[in-house]
Amino acid sequence: MEPENLRDESNMSPIIDVNENSMPGSPETLEMEGHLEESAEQQPSSNSTPQDPFIISLSTWQWINIDGVNLPAITRNQQEKYVAVHMVQLRLLSKFPSEIPNDIMQKYTMKSTKMTLAEAWKFNAINTLLRKFDLGCQQLFDENDELVKLADVMMFYWNVKLVVMKRIRKQYETIIQTNEQNISIVSVLTNLLKTIDDDIYHIPLKIGELADNPEASPQPKSDKEVVSAAPKTTRSLPPSDPDPLISSLSAWEWVNFDGSRLPAVKRNGERYVAVQMVQIKLLSKFPSNVPHEIIQKYTMRSHKMTMIEACQFNSINTLLRKFDLGSHIYSSSDDLVTLNDVQKFYWNVRLINLMRIEKLYGKLMELREHQTNIPLLATMSNLKNYIGNDVENVKAFLAELDTKYPKLDELPTKNHGW
């Protein structure tokens, strides 16, 4: 059920970087057993002792993987794993529609518990040092933030995904019925339905494993059930017909963007990405109160997708990413934005948020209740310095963008993301 390794998809499309040089703020390669690397930047100052419990606690955590998404987890009572509510909402649940059935909400409600001070700074250190705030840039964690059990998150997530997948299947069936005369669309959607059917079959198996209840797992499908689950329309294109829709499905590229990978299509040599994917994978981690001058100066100009481009994004999201890029079915009413516009908007928004968090660290270090906690002060100081380095890197990258791409002209625009 996890998204496929995108490096193995090179036969479908090339993998390219937004910039030839390494981009500032990209997360390091994640290890399944997480720890903060031994370095002068990340370790507390010499004022703290190596055996201090607070410092030791910062290394006691691990990466866990939920449906292709890596999240840091801590352990309580030597056995139960917990994850941060805010990270679960941002990286797992934000791709689903908000209207979740009440029976799911009531049956699988996740019970939360408050973080300790050490746990809060563990998540702050991971998010700052290893993920460059990819796990959320709205806040710094403190004792008012909440944890939930990993087991509860898994059960809630897979049940919600099952509901969403069934809903998407019905939407695809409706599209097929209304486009019965368009053999190309029917052929593409029929293949997508096969993937969705496979997921709908395997998710209950996963839920059964989580519940440790073999009776919850459905029996293997018979040949008759497989046939009845297939779309009613079974027409296919003649092998000799080089249909433009089918051929165009491979005409796209992966772009690496600050640790996230997005599919891009080309128009007249310029790359475009889907607004919905930009919002989910890039902009959702930032707070919405972006300064008005940033919105005015770097507003992204939108363009409607063609039917072929919508099919491309649907195929990529369904087949390669298992709807990790959002549980949305694209159509010609959806919008594209140029990659260059996204770069300028994103990195300027990232810069102001890094500067905001750097100031926040400074204010926290001045609080009276923190003055006697030397290990905590040392941790804050190192994280603040680390963010300061990122601020300088982003400024340098933006200066490079300004020389590489012309400034936006005063054209009618449509604001996205805020």
Q: What is the pLDDT of residue 342?
A: 94
Domain assignment present for 215: no
- Name the domain boundary from 150, 168, 187: 150
Domain assignment present for 67: yes
Q: What is the pLDDT of residue 71?
A: 96
Q: What is the pLDDT of residue 113?
A: 95
Q: What is the pLDDT of residue 239?
A: 42
Q: What is the pLDDT of residue 56?
A: 63
pLDDT digits (tens, 9 = 90+) for 277-293: 999 999 999 998 888 88
Per the structure, the complete domain to which residue 288 belongs is given by: 253-404
Domain assignment present for 26: no
Q: What is the pLDDT of residue 79?
A: 82
CATH number at residue 348: 3.10.260.20
Q: What is the pLDDT of residue 372?
A: 81
Rounded mean pLDDT for each run of 10 residues along the chain, 418 residues in total: 36 36 32 35 40 64 92 89 95 90 88 93 92 90 94 94 95 91 87 93 92 44 35 36 61 89 93 95 91 88 92 93 93 94 94 94 84 85 93 93 62 42
Mean pLDDT computed over every residue of the chain = 78
Domain assignment present for 179: no
Domain count, the chain: 2
Entry pTM: 0.76
Q: What is the pLDDT of residue 248?
A: 66
CA distances from 104 to 1, 93, 160, 200, 202 (A): 20, 14, 7, 17, 19
Domain assignment present for 15: no
Q: What is the pLDDT of residue 211?
A: 85
- Name the domain boundary from 110, 134, 150: 150
Does one domain contain both 129 and 262?
no
Does one domain contain both 257 and 400?
yes
Domain assignment present for 225: no
Q: What is the pLDDT of residue 291?
A: 87
Domain assignment present for 388: yes
Q: What is the pLDDT of residue 317?
A: 94
Domain assignment present for 201: no
Does one domain contain both 393 and 263?
yes
- Name the domain boundary from 87, 115, 150: 150
pLDDT digits (tens, 9 = 90+) for 31-77: 323 334 433 333 334 444 445 566 666 678 999 999 999 999 999 88
Q: What is the pLDDT of residue 244?
A: 60
